[in-house]
Amino acid sequence: MPSKAGRTEGRRVEKPSAQELVVKAPAKVNLVLRVLDRRSDGYHNVWSLMQAVGLEDELRIRRRPDVEGVVLRCDDPQLPTDASNLVHRAATRVLQAAGRQGGVEVHISKRIPIGGGLGGGSSDAAATIAALNRLLDLQWSGSEMARVGAGLGSDVPFFFHAPTAIVRGRGEDVVPFRLSGRRWIVLVNPGFPIATQWAYERLSRMRSGAPPLSPELTALTQGGIGTWEDVIPIMVNDFEEALRPTHPALAEIKQTLLDSGAEAALLSGSGATVFGVFRQEESATHSSDILRQLAAYHVYVAPASSISSFSQEGVTPAPVACG
């Protein structure tokens, strides 16, 4: 039975009615992000160790037999609610695949910064797929839902394997990783976006080729298990070097996090959010107070999530299920 906070095994869920679900969609950070060779389709292969973080959007999703298609609303006016939105596209794709009459209504309460390298849109899309899987009683497995998500965005499949996973290729190759220990994350968004395509182009211009994976990363791939003490010394993001000359604020934030007690600090994705890893909540809160005083940054403190993903391979029903 859910607790008063609405927690079930897996994701935190509420059940307002048999036709409606409320689901939390977590942010992610890249503990490692290596940008590798360019593919024939123009995209780059990546190697990333991703970690879910307890900064969450909330999605209220309900069936609407009286409408056709998707009705999407959001409390943040910056977020488009038309067919360009990943949630809209995810819901449309599920309805088409299910061949069901009627539509759905989705309301997003936005907390994850938009365009900040934290995967908020991808997580919201994964939450939508998983919730509709339950509402429509589709009984898709985790791998089936991840395949639907892979056609929407490179980060979407990760959220069906979270809280921690190694992500390769364009994001479609996801292997769960067991990371033991507990840490707190301070997320610092400077308030400006960085276009992903521009960041990739700049990185490509700055280097003649991608260096190979280190032996430590290869060992993580083979082992599939590790501790924070194993991961922290090898945290790296290839975009940092490319963005340092054009966005000096990112390096300043990183240094402030380290000076205020972070065990490690890193850019997430292609930015612009920088995060610090802390052993204790108290030290994370202290660091966040310092950063809020320095500039008009958006600063969040959240645990590195140990909660299961929306769905795990071979687990039916999905953890977002009501009941």
3-state secondary structure of 274: strand
Q: Which is the catalytic residue, given 57, 124, 155, 238?
A: 155
Length of the chain measured in residues? 323
Query: DSSP secondary structure string, 286-298?
Result: HHHHHHHHHSS-E
Contact 155, 149 (CB under 8 A): no
Exposure string for 242-276, b = 16+ CB within 10 A, e = fewer: bbeeebebbbebbebbeebbbbbbbbbbbbbbbbb
Active site residue 15: no
Name the nearest CA neighbour of 196 among 90, 86, 115. 115
Q: At a CB cut-off of 8 Å and minimum separation 6, what does 314 contact?
A: 141, 142
Active site residue 76: no
Q: Which is the catalytic residue, given 24, 28, 110, 254?
A: 28
Residue in this structure with the two tokens 């802390």, named with its chain if needed: 278
**Dist CA 252 CA 142 (whole Å):** 40
CB count, 10 Å around CB of 216? 13
**Which residues are tagged catalytic?**
28, 155
